[in-house]
Amino acid sequence: MRIGELAQRAGTTTRALRYYESRGLLPARRGGNGYRAYDEEDLRLLRQIRVLQDFGFVLEETRPFVECLRAGHPAGDSCPASLEVYRAKLAELDAMVARLSEIRDQVAAQLGQAEAARDALAAADAQPRCELVRRDE
């Protein structure tokens, strides 16, 4: 199949495919007519890349998965290098979740302080006021 058909079937653009090719993730085969030629295996590689990118993996992190598929494994995550990338991504995500949890706690504390200050101000305004009245009689 040609580049346009592959892009359409993979849900991406021809520009992205050319970029993947330049990065060595997609094979650069040419037909006798000089056009890029792709097959179902290339579509499988692209689908693996797209799924990983949807999970938040950067393009370079997809390389071990692509290489695993190219080596003939049934799944891109059945090789040790792919599993290591999974472990690294989980550690990264755990750190992000921990940081977000800290930020959430800080925002919740600020909200609590702001509400307490607002309530104290409202309570102070609700108290009856004693005014001194000067009588010159």
Architecture of domain 3-126: Orthogonal Bundle (1.10)
Give me the half-sphere count of Cα atoms (radius 13 Å) on the Cβ side of residue 115.
6
Which tens digits make up the pLDDT trace of 55-83? 999 999 999 999 999 999 999 999 999 99
Buried b (16+ CB within 10 A) or exposed e, 106-136: eeeeeeeeeeeeeeeeeeeeeeeeeeeeeee
Predicted TM-score (pTM) of this structure: 0.73
Distance (Å, whole) CA 66 – CA 63: 5
Residue ranges covered by each domain of the chain: 3-126
Q: For residue range 79-103, what is the model confidence (pLDDT) as tens digits?
A: 999 999 999 999 999 999 999 999 9
10 close to 48: Cβ distance less than 8 angstroms: no
